[in-house]
Amino acid sequence: MLNMLRHLASRIMSVATVLVICGITSYAQELNCDVTVNTDQVQGTNNSVFKTLQDAIREYMNSTHFTNDQYSANERIDCRLFFTVVEYTDGTVKGDLQVQSSRPVYNSTYTTTLINFKDNKIEFQYQEGEPLNFTVNTMESQLTAILNFYAYLIIALDRDSFAPKGGEEAFERLRMIVQLAQSSGEGGWKAFEDKKNRSAILDAFTSPQTSGVRNMLYDYHRNGLDQMFQSPDKGRAAITSSLDLLTAVYGVDAMSVVLSMFKDAKLDELVNVYTKASQTERQKVVDILSPIYPTEMQRINYIKNGVTK
């Protein structure tokens, strides 16, 4: 069902779509992932190790079947991993990782961002030529644990955007990954260590107090953006209504990572969504966003005034 919804939301009638209709589709795994390993900040190191690392990560993300579902080629989730290496010593890579994912909006050429998140605590061991192996119930390495975490997060939020809490199975996998990684003692996984680490992300999306944001993902995308081609006013009204769930999360945890994740993925989009809204609707959105994002008043005022950036 989720794949069908992704298919309906496809923005073009591609050759792959025709093959699906004819019943002779070629199946692929879930992700269409672009990978970059940037080493501009690393001096005096043989760059071949990073080229090998980049190729290994790209192969891993694009060939691993993370779930049992079959995706046709045009249903794969577009995403990007941008690693910035700041230190490489004795096989230890340190740096950060920008994670992005998007999905098409029904009956349009527009793609909407689901994730735009920067993980500042990336550290793992890697030797040139080292194979990356996927395992479900064990932690193969720190690197594959990080890759698995973000692969399942991308899948989970994509599925949540197409069906109410459709990403539940992927979130269960995320819970297992975090539990295994926490036992390793490595940074980036520890509970309560950091409000924006991987453990905090899992908790924010699964805790009963803040998991309502997952319902917002469905209302915002499936009932909102996907309806705007047919009725812009109806779709925009659904988006406006969905934002009340941000207020609920803010009331429970004003520092929740999901609030900053939503801002980084969606605030510029909201500016464009409300350019043709009524003043009353724009003011309602401003009233919701202003207390949550007080440092973003310039962009929020674009919404208030009904103008694009």
Quote the percentage of the chain above a pLDDT of 70.
91
**pLDDT surpassing 90 at residue 194:** no
Q: Please give, one letter per residue, the 3-state secondary structure of the chain.
A: CHHHHHHHCCCCCCHHHHHHHHCCCCEECCEEEEEEEECCCCCCCCCHHHHHHHHHHHHHHHHCCCCCCCEEHHHCEEEEEEEEEEEEECCEEEEEEEEEEEEECCCCCCEEEEEEEEEEEEEEECCCCCCCCCCCCCCCCHHHHHHHHHHHHHHHHHHHHHCCCCCHHHHHHHHHHHHHHHCCCCCCCCCCCCCCCHHHHHHHHHCCCCCCHHHHHHHHHCCCHHHCCCCHHHHHHHHHHHCHHHHHHHHHCCCCHHHHHHHHHHHHHHHHHCCCCCHHHHHHHHHHHHHHCHHHHHHHHHHHHCCCC
**Positive or negative torsion for Cα 132, 134, 140, 145:** positive
Tell me the pTM: 0.91
At residue 23 the predicted structure's pLDDT band, cuts being 50, 70 and 90, is very low
Name the least confident of 1-10, 18-27, 30-39, 118-127: 18-27
At residue 47 the predicted structure's pLDDT band, cuts being 50, 70 and 90, is confident
What's residue 196's pLDDT? 94
At residue 6 the predicted structure's pLDDT band, cuts being 50, 70 and 90, is low
CA–CA separation, 191 and 179 (whole Å): 10
Amino acid type, 218 = Y
pLDDT digits (tens, 9 = 90+) for 165-185: 999 999 999 999 999 999 888
pLDDT digits (tens, 9 = 90+) for 81-134: 999 999 999 999 999 999 999 999 999 999 999 999 999 999 999 999 899 999
User: Mean pLDDT in the chain?
Assistant: 90
**pLDDT surpassing 50 at residue 256:** yes
